Amino acid sequence: MAAPPLLLLTDIRLAFGTTTLLGGALLSVAPGERLALIGRNGSGKSTLLRIAAGLAEADSGTRFLQPGATLRYLPQEPDLAGYANVLAYVESGLTGGDDAHRAHYLLEALGLTGAEHPDQLSGGEARRAALARALAPEPDILLLDEPTNHLDLPAIEWLESELGRLRSAIVTISHDRRFLERLSRAMVWLDRGNTLRLERSFEHFETWRDEILAVEEQNAQKLARQIVREEHWLRYGVTARRKRNVKRLGDLQALRQKKRERQGPQGNVRMAASEAEGSGNLVALAENATKTYGDRTIIREANARIMRGDRIGIVGPNGAGKTTLLKMLTGELEPDSGTIRRGTAIEMVTLDQKREALPPETTLSQALTEGRGDQVFINGQPRHVVGYMKDFLFLPEQARTAVSVLSGGERGRLMLARAFARASNLLVLDEPTNDLDLETLDLLQELIAEYGGTVLVVSHDRDFLDRTVTGILAFEGDGRWQDYAGGYSDMVAQRGRGVQARAGVEAASRPRGAASSAAAAPAKKMSFKDKHALESLPARMEKLTAEIKLLREKLADSGLFKRDHAAFKRFTNGLALRESELAAAEEEWLRLEAMREAAEA
């Protein structure tokens, strides 16, 4: 028998004026579930999560939280005001029975000491503190709104490990595909105010979503054809009994009303970059370029050749000097020693991670036209600003909306619209994926792929890098950088590892479990039991993988749920159990393998 939900939202409705945001949304969270809440920017995901956390009220509907269940919520923009330091803020989320040492462990793992004053934190540091506060009690339910924003790759991989170890039920809003693939077990799709649920992992979501939209479109076409037939009868049909004709006329009016009320899927972003004349063949050439701040060498004897048409990703942990390297390559900074030669006829457009602060009273129209009339020019062709706004999913009535009231996702789309309206042959994108929904990311990836100029990207999004870049500049430690062909996964294959934390914080960034055990491995000898487990675990992992594949094939039967609900539930529970056992077996194998290597060394 399935466990009752820890948290249940039923028929949640919320409107702002005449605009319906939530029109009957449902969210059910059972113990230990791993849910991803998916939807377009502005669809109400964050609002629904705030309602689930008890921080916002719906116009109607019910919220049920199991008595005694603990819940923690990670907001996108945490407020640390009123706390003496970061440690006090994190400890305020603990209850009497919680482990106080966890606050120190989490802060250290996230690169904070706890002594920082809230007023002196950057946006990324404030989010790290909020993440530590949410994780510290190991609550029954974790609600996470964009947990990977502003985290570097080592921190994201640490977070994946930490969340995988917790027994908490987790509901996550995220644009990071790789993160969702590794942590989600079921999808809740919020679309046009309503929720649909898929009991499968994220890798199946987009196919499932597209199938639903295709069926909707077919039904809409059938409805349109039915209306045409009824209108034809109304004009030319032979009059029969009056009562029957009146009823048929009423049915036609009902069909028309249904068509008027049908709300189609939200439109797609249509992006097109204004391209300038081509640059010279060489864009930038760095030879032994070095940059030092104080006693620390940020860039040490860097060598890189960037040619026209290259799409280069720059990766490394926070503080490694990615933005410094980017500024040196583009001419904003000069090296202290060595040389950087830049090409000719460069027309550069930059989208930085701070999203180019605009005066809060600036309207959308002014931001896009830069206060000059009501037109923007794309590839030399004038376009009315309202039409260009629609390409980025803004409504015409938002033309006079102030920038200060836009959501994070809307601000991200606005900055993309501003950047792509400027003629360029070199796109410089510093963390462009922050706050963008999955569909907008897809279109940004297509634009980069079709862009005729050169692209430089700083990003912590592994999937985005794999889909967009043709080469990687990776931080190797001690200020040194190395180039690799291909995307992020290609770099890992060539290098043998992904991005690691900078020296000095590596121990703090290392997750508990496999890595921490590996660090202690040299002091231990392998027992007979350890050796036996190391030898037998691969066969067990292979068996679990085969069982998982079989269960997924059974659950792929779309008619199983209606035909045999008990079997569906049995297969679902069995899949969750085996996936959990496989994750535990893989972690144990990694621990033992590290112990074996250390013993041999």
Which of 192-201, 250-259, 369-378 shows the lowest per-residue confidence on average (mean pLDDT)?
A: 250-259
Which of 260-274, 343-357, 359-373 shows the lowest per-residue confidence on average (mean pLDDT)?
A: 260-274
Give a yes or no: residue 271 inside a domain: no
Count CB-CB contacts under 10 A for residue 516: 13
Statement to judge: residues 257 and 380 lie in one domain: no
Give a yes or no: residue 273 inside a domain: no
Q: Which of 289, 298, 312 is nearest to 430 (CA)?
A: 312
Is the predicted pLDDT of residue 235 greater than 80, yes or no? no
For the segment 571-596, the average pLDDT, to the nearest whole number, is 76
Please answer whether residues 329 and 304 qualify as being in contact, where contact means their C-beta atoms are separated by less than 8 angstroms: yes
Of 195-204, 389-398, 541-550, 551-560, highest mean pLDDT: 195-204
pLDDT band at 505 (very low <50, low <70, confident <90, very high): very low
At residue 458, φ and ψ (nearest 5 deg) are -105, 125
In the block, residue with structure tokens 């992904």: 498
Give a yes or no: residue 239 inside a domain: yes
- The Cα 71–Cα 354 span in angstroms is 31
Statement to judge: residues 34 and 98 lie in one domain: yes
pLDDT band at 111 (very low <50, low <70, confident <90, very high): confident
Give a yes or no: residue 212 inside a domain: no
Give tens-digit pLDDT for 351-370.
765 555 678 888 888 888 88
- In the structure, how many helices (H) and strands (E) does the chain have? 20, 20
For the segment 62-83, the average pLDDT, to the nearest whole number, is 93
In the chain, the percentage of residues whose pLDDT exceeds 70 is 83
For the segment 258-284, the average pLDDT, to the nearest whole number, is 60
pLDDT band at 236 (very low <50, low <70, confident <90, very high): low
- The Cα 247–Cα 228 span in angstroms is 17
Q: Are strands 381-384 and 337-342 parallel, antiparallel or unpaired?
A: unpaired
Statement to judge: residues 348 and 419 lie in one domain: yes
The CA–CA distances, whole Å, from 322 to 148, 469, 479, 503, 509 equal 18, 16, 10, 16, 19
Q: Is the pTM of this model over 0.85?
A: no
Q: Give, for 286, the enclosing helix (H) or strand (E).
A: strand 282-293
pLDDT band at 56 (very low <50, low <70, confident <90, very high): very high
Which of 458, 481, 505 delimits the end of a domain?
505
What does the DSSP assignment read for 411-462? HHHHHHHHHHTS-BSEEEEESTTTT--HHHHHHHHHHHHH-SSEEEEE---H
What is the rounded radius of gyration, in angstroms, for the C-alpha atoms of the chain?
A: 27
Give a yes or no: residue 267 inside a domain: no
The CA–CA distances, whole Å, from 36 to 146, 197, 202, 407, 446 equal 11, 10, 8, 20, 24
Between 155 and 9, where is the model more confident?
Answer: 9
- The Cα 115–Cα 127 span in angstroms is 16
Statement to judge: residues 142 and 250 lie in one domain: no
- Domain holding 309: CATH number? 3.40.50.300
Q: Are strands 311-315 and 454-458 parallel, antiparallel or unpaired?
A: parallel
Give a yes or no: residue 275 inside a domain: no
Residue-level pLDDT at 278? 60
Give a yes or no: residue 453 inside a domain: yes
Statement to judge: residues 57 and 197 lie in one domain: yes
Is the predicted pLDDT of residue 213 greater than 60, yes or no? yes
pLDDT band at 414 (very low <50, low <70, confident <90, very high): confident
Question: Cα 333 to chain center, whole Å?
Answer: 31
- The Cα 44–Cα 262 span in angstroms is 19
Q: Are strands 141-145 and 71-74 parallel, antiparallel or unpaired?
A: parallel
The CA–CA distances, whole Å, from 184 to 37, 94, 105, 138 equal 10, 26, 25, 18
Residue-level pLDDT at 271? 53
What domain range is 31 assigned to?
7-207
Statement to judge: residues 111 and 186 lie in one domain: yes
In the block, residue with structure tokens 């890189």: 304
From the number of C-beta atoms within 10 Å of its C-beta (0-12, 13-18, 19+), residue 461 rates as buried
Q: In the chain, how many domains are there? A: 4
What number of residues does the chain have? 601
Statement to judge: residues 197 and 69 lie in one domain: yes
Between 444 and 240, where is the model more confident?
Answer: 444
Statement to judge: residues 537 and 498 lie in one domain: no
Statement to judge: residues 11 and 105 lie in one domain: yes
Statement to judge: residues 339 and 419 lie in one domain: yes
- Domain holding 562: CATH number? 1.10.287.380
At residue 275, φ and ψ (nearest 5 deg) are -105, 130
Statement to judge: residues 483 and 520 lie in one domain: no
pLDDT band at 261 (very low <50, low <70, confident <90, very high): low
Is the predicted pLDDT of residue 34 greater than 90, yes or no? yes
pLDDT band at 562 (very low <50, low <70, confident <90, very high): confident
Is the predicted pLDDT of residue 264 greater than 70, yes or no? no
User: Reading across the β-sheet that carries 186-191, which strands appear in turn?
Assistant: 71-74, 141-145, 169-173, 34-38, 186-191, 194-198
pLDDT band at 74 (very low <50, low <70, confident <90, very high): very high
Is the predicted pLDDT of residue 502 greater than 60, yes or no? no
Statement to judge: residues 70 and 197 lie in one domain: yes
Give a yes or no: residue 104 inside a domain: yes
pLDDT band at 258 (very low <50, low <70, confident <90, very high): low
At residue 502, φ and ψ (nearest 5 deg) are -65, 150
Please answer whether residues 342 and 307 qualify as being in contact, where contact means their C-beta atoms are separated by less than 8 angstroms: no
